[in-house]
Structure 1
Amino acid sequence: MSTPTSTHGLSPLRTVQVLGYGGAGSAAHVRSLAEGLVARGVRVTVCATPESEEAYDFTGAGARFVHVPPRMDPVSVATLRSACWDADLVHAHGLRAGLRASMALRGLRGPRGGRRVPLVITWHTSPHTEGARAGVVHLMERRVARAAAVVLGACSDLVDRARERGARDARLAPVAIPRPRSGGAPAEPEERDHLRHKERAELGATGRPLLLAVGRLGPGQGHDLLLDAAHAWCALDPQPLLVIAGEGVQRAALQRRIDLEELPVQLLGRRDDVPELLAAADLVVLPSRWEARSLIAQEALRAGVPLVATDTGGTRELVGRAAELVPYGDAAALARSVLALLADPDRRDALAEAGRIQAAGWPTENDTVTQVLSVYDELTQPQS
């Protein structure tokens, strides 16, 4: 077991966790990581936006919270540097957070022997960029990868990417999905059935198949592809209903298509009841251009809901044979997989069981904290 208190008489390890705008995956990971580190005696400061603190309650996990605007201007970088002045180690989550942290730490010496404060960066995802912006992102990735003592990649694709960008040390570090933090006891089967029927009725899916997609309505998420595929089941009786939970810049354009093409699709907006939506769904569909360890894919497999997903990024590594995978950009293949599963309840049952088995083999939150703390120990050991 790693111990945060040095045998050389130094004070407990002090870490700073740096978030950008706090995407759901990275913010939930930082909340889980903070809680686990604090339980092991590590002092944790989280630098993020007030919105992230409100949503994820880092102080409730025992961490100190510092509001640091996720910008690159001198004032924001100086605020971050001030938060890091007595840190033994800084851990940034995401590309932009890593870049800001590297700027803030320039020339900063830590309390353990006056060494430079080590920077750990976790890459949770890969930004979708095209044209001139792709070149800028490439340069950012190179700078961040080379500034870090260790880059932790949420999937093998990201580890390879970090190495290609010049990382001195890049390691696979799958991020565990936090379990729901509900205080009540698990519902009895009769109650679960009642809640399922109630949710389906509220969505207008009584007596018809319910398909669920969850994710930001933005470029690279594949929602246009999903609407293309929806044409394939318009003529079915009963007609499946596709509901999409999430918000983003493409909402108005997607709604125009739904109305114009008379598609059986509802945009639900941002929802905080994804577990209830999962319990009501017959299938989950993930049409993204790229994913590392998709939260909704993990939640679907853990809940035993069959998943159809695009075979990109770390998805195959995550789900194994416990989901139907299709090429990104192939709406016909996506539609065929959905229709085949709707017509085959035995296959759906088999995928549900395979999903639960696959999920049982994923790292736990405790595993994740233990791995991260071992990296911290390695980087902060006193030099002989």
Structure 2
Amino acid sequence: MTSTPAPPHGQSPLRTVQVLGRGGAGSAAHVRSLAAGLVARGVRVTVCAPPDTEGAYDYTDAGARFVPVPPRADPASVTSLRAACGDADLVHAHGLRAGLRASLALQGTRGRQVPLVVTWHTKAPTDGPGARLVRLLERRVARAAAVVLGACSDLVDRARERGARDARLAPVAIPAPRPGGRPLTAEDRPAHKLRAELGAVDRPLILVVGRLETHQGHDLLLDAAHAWCALDPQPMVVVAGEGGLRASLQRRIDVEGLPVRLLGRRDDVPELLAAADLLVLPSRWEARSLIAQEALRAGVPLVATDVGGTRELVGRAAELVPYGDAAALARTVLGLLADPARRDTLAAAGRAQAAGWPTEDATVAQVLSVYDELMQRREG
């Protein structure tokens, strides 16, 4: 990653605070990547995030100062965040609730006009009993931010609808793999041992990665799996992830006799991905799915629901089906399993599509240009 010269003599470096809540792996990895890139460019970075994220992402090793702040909006947590933002030139929050907490913290900066940037990485559900509260929260955060950055066009439109003064598209780059420098690929996948452990030596292996929550679409996956039971050999579907729906999903798998295994939380997702014949992403909504990016970059064929920013992300390099259409999902998976040539075509198209995504360096440069613009606007 390239770096820019240090600030001129006598000029203080830009001081930024990155605020992260209980977000997903994608936003936490993005903050790590962003912190490293900003530090390399002479920016001082403080990361305020839940205590356990430092062990997983090592923000200190990236050159940032790490301040553990619980992902709550109670007075004590907001006070801790306010103290961390006390000498900041700019605050950048990642996620809706992180944006709310940052805006509350900045209310107490004693009259200093500290710009707030908020990146919307995903969309909060807007149905059910909490729908009105989510809309109010989105409106509050959109209007508090000097700039809202959306990971996909759908989120940019949403921010504008909620009253954002300035909303811009800012795709989040997938971080480079660490360690090793490159993803596993179909040519060097450690397939035999892992497939044997999963019970898929002589049968197709379908991988699903995501928390066991409603918006991830696992019920749709189980509906579709009925059609795969008729195949010989019968595919094995493995789901990597943990969550509140585990018990109910396992009951369905047992009662309906589905060829699906819930693996729980796994630390070897890259190896699972490299061993799989297909990745299925049955989500209700996605912005720029991290696992979809990893699959295309590694040349693993992807079947995904056509929701949110997925089409914008994958182009023609994946098979897309309507959300909620289990029959279409089942047909598409069956078709790919029966067509090795099509899988090879998708693998090549996935790598080509991934080559055109923004790099980490370009992502950092775009964010820094927003920071510079806001600083110039404040000084002018």
Gaps of at least 5 residues in structure 2 are none
Q: Tell me the TM-score normalized by structure 1.
A: 0.95
Confirm or deny: 8 A CA contact 2:185 2:274 kept in the other structure: no
Kindly indicate whether residue 208 of structure 2 is the aligned counterpart of residue 207 of structure 1. Answer: no
- Which residues of 2 match residues 131-150 of structure 1 at below 5 A? 131-150=128-147
2:379 is the counterpart of 1:383: yes
- Give the Cα–Cα distance (whole angstroms) in 2 for the partners of residues 73 and 379 of structure 1: 29
What is the CA distance between 1:129 and its match in structure 2? Answer: 3.9
Of 247, 254, 260, 2:255 maps to 260
SS where residue 379 of structure 2 aligns?
Answer: coil
* Structure 1 segment 120-135 matched on structure 2, within 5 A: 120-135=117-132
* Residue in structure 2 matched with residue 76 of structure 1 by the alignment: 77
Alignment partners' CA distance in 2, 1:377 and 1:161:
25
Alignment RMSD, CA only? 1.9
1:147/1:186 Cα in 2 relative to 1: closer, same or farther (>3 Å)? closer
Report the CA distance shift for 1:211/1:78 in structure 2 as closer, same or farther (over 3 A). same
Task: Give the equivalent residue in structure 1 for 2:49.
Answer: 48
Counterparts of 1:328 and 1:373, CA distance in 2: 36
| Structure 1 partner of 2:325 | 330
Q: Structure 1 residues 2 and 62 mapped into 2: Cα distance closer, same or farther (>3 Å)?
A: closer
Please state whether the residue corresponding to 2:341 is helix, strand or coil: helix
Q: Say yes or no: does 1:100 pair with 2:97.
A: no
CA shift digits 1:101-139 (9 cap, x unpaired): 000001525xxxx85000000000001242331100000
For residues 188 and 354 of structure 1, the distance between their equivalents in structure 2, rounded to whole angstroms, comes to 14
Aligned to 1:164: 161
Give the CA deviation at 1:154.
Answer: 0.1
**For the residues of structure 2 that align with 1:8 and 1:60, how far apart are their CA atoms?**
26
Secondary structure of 1:171's counterpart equals strand
Residue pairs, 1:313-328, within 5 angstroms? 313-328=308-323
Question: Aligned runs of 1:182-331 on 2, under 5 Å?
Answer: 182-183=179-180, 192=188, 195-331=190-326
Judge conservation of contact 1:321–1:354 (CA < 8 Å) in 2.
Answer: yes
Between 1:169-178 and 1:197-206, the stretch displaced more is 197-206
CA distance in 1, matches of 2:182, 2:265: 26
Query: How far apart in 1 are the matches of 2:243 and 2:321?
Result: 25
Distance 2:183 2:200 in 1: 24
Q: How far apart are 1:294 and its partner, in Å?
A: 0.3
Classify 1:187/1:210 alpha carbon distance in 2 versus 1 (closer, same or farther; 3 Å).
Answer: closer
Distance across 2 between alignment mates of 1:285 and 1:86:
46
Stretches of 4+ aligned residues off by more than 3 angstroms? 1-9, 183-190
Residue type at the aligned position of 2:146 = A
CA contact (8 A) 1:22 1:52 kept: no
SS in 2 for 1:211: strand
Q: Distance in 2 between matches of 1:129 and 1:249?
A: 19
Q: 1:34 to 1:186 in 2, by over 3 A?
A: closer
Paired with 2:295 and 2:180, the residues of 1 have a C-alpha distance of 21
CA–CA separation in structure 2 for the residues paired with 1:107 and 1:4: 33
Q: Which residue of 2 aligns with 1:10?
A: 11
How far apart, CA to CA, are the structure 1 residues paired with 2:126 and 2:248? 20
1:85 aligns with 86
Q: Which residue of 2 aligns with 1:361?
A: 356
Contact 1:4 1:13 in 2 (8 A): no
Question: Residue type matched to 2:216 in 1?
Answer: Q
CA contact (8 A) 2:206 2:236 kept: yes
Counterpart Cα distance in 2 of 1:345 and 1:5: 53
Report if aligned partners of 1:27, 1:56 keep a CA contact under 8 Å in 2: yes
Q: Percent identity?
A: 80
Match of 2:175 among 170, 173, 178: 178
Asked if the contact 1:128/1:219 (under 8 Å) is kept, the reply is no
Name the stretch that deviates more: 330-339 or 14-23.
Answer: 14-23
SS of equivalent residue, structure 1 residue 366: helix
Counterpart for residue 346 of structure 2: 351
The aligned length equals 378
Bigger CA drift: 180-189 or 123-132? Answer: 180-189
Which of 112, 117, 142 in structure 1 is aligned with 2:114?
117
Change beyond 3 A, Cα 1:184–1:42: closer
User: How far is 1:198 from its partner?
Assistant: 1.2
8 Å CA contact 1:284–1:307 kept in 2: the answer is: yes
8 A contact 1:151–1:170 mirrored in 2: yes
